[in-house]
Homo-oligomer: A and B are copies of this chain.
Amino acid sequence: MTFTADDWPIAAALLQFPGTTDRGPVQDAPAAAWVDAFTELHEAGFDDVDLTDSWVRIGDLSDTRLQEFGEALRTAGVRAPSVSAIRRSVIDARHGDENLAYSHRTIDAAAALGCSVVSVGLHQALTPAQQEQLWFWTVEGHHDPTDDRETWDTAVRRLRELGQHAADVGLLLSLEMYEDTYLGTADSSVRLVEDIGLREVGLNPDIGNLVRLHRPIESWREIAEKTLPYANFWHVKNYYRDEDRARDLYVAMPAPMEFGIISYREAFRIAIDAGFQGVLCCEHYGGDGLSVSATNQDYLRRHVLPKHSGYSLGTSRVAQGSPKDGAQ
């Protein structure tokens, strides 16, 4: 059974929903506040939500609160196929242990909520300089140490440990690509996932993260071709981009998926040839990201995703774990 335009799970990220409002952290808000957010997202056209942890950290909810959270999802009529834990690197020099423990708790909470995939990454907290920018990606942030076998091995070991935990509770673990980390290039990302070597650990080829940088970039098509065979979840977003290298000019701005430089029509052809059947998650920075995400979902279902089941699907290098095929 393969997904089609009608039933491919497409979740909206919660990036536009702030973690703190004038009534305090949403983490501690009454469940009614969660229902409001899910309802707004549902009314915008989404049946699926990505539990982006900049909004609420499900791994930090008590059992009772987690049940309330699941109830809030059901009340609003949305499902949560995925969780995205952001900036919680397990090799963070100061917070690595803490982030590892948090990631374990997040996997357990995700399993309790019936999710199918948890996405983590190696990007670390935004620097003060990044926080001052209109777009944080226009200045450099944290770099994972290069030629540092020990840190690499720690990343492999800890992510494998998380992957094994995910597998044990019927989930997939997905690793989000992000510049200047071990998941910052296509080659390094593939190497990392192969070093981990678990079927339940794959990539989240968030190519948008890489093509918005104010410096020379890898070709999106090459990234797609190299990483999609390992993808088991996908943050999809797009950017307008201009370059004038002779003038050292780089410009990039968030774009609707249909209009940016990545051709998702072509990227999905590559994905399907590579056996991809993962959950999609629409992200969009700046402005009315939820409306743009709804426009993006529309575009995917109308122009990009297969119209009919029974298409020829390639063989992925990793397990595919969407709700439909029972991987959880």
Interface residues of A (CB under 8 A from B): 16, 43-44, 133-135, 138-139, 214, 238, 240-256, 258-266, 286-292, 294-295, 299, 303-304, 307
A242 CB contact (under 8 Å) in B246, B251, B292 = B251
Are the C-beta atoms of A16 and B263 separated by less than 8 Å? yes
The 6 closest A-B pairs by CB, nearest first: A263-B288, A265-B288, A134-B243, A291-B303, A240-B253, A242-B251
* Known contacts A262-B287, A286-B261, A288-B264; A214 and B294 CB within 8 A of each other: no
Contact of A249 among B241, B249, B266, B299 (CB under 8 A): B249
Whether the Cβ atoms of A291 and B286 lie closer than 8 Å is: no
Identical copies in the complex: 3
> Given the known A-B contacts A258-B292, A288-B258, are A248 and B251 also in contact in the complex, defined by CB atoms under 8 Å?
no
A43 to chain B: closest residue by CB: B307
Q: How far is the CA of A9 from the CA of B299 in the complex (A)?
A: 25
Q: A258-B292, A259-B287, A287-B260 are in contact. Are A242 and B252 (CB under 8 A)?
A: yes
Cβ-defined contact, A261 with B287, below 8 A: yes
A265/B291 contact (C-beta < 8 A), A135-B243, A138-B244 known: yes
Pair A295/B258 contact, Cβ less than 8 Å: yes
Q: A214-B247, A241-B253, A249-B249 are in contact. List 16 more A-B contacts (CB 8 A).
A: A16-B265, A43-B307, A133-B243, A134-B242, A134-B261, A135-B243, A214-B244, A238-B287, A242-B253, A244-B250, A251-B253, A258-B292, A260-B287, A263-B288, A264-B288, A265-B290
Residues of B within 8 A of A260 (CB): 287
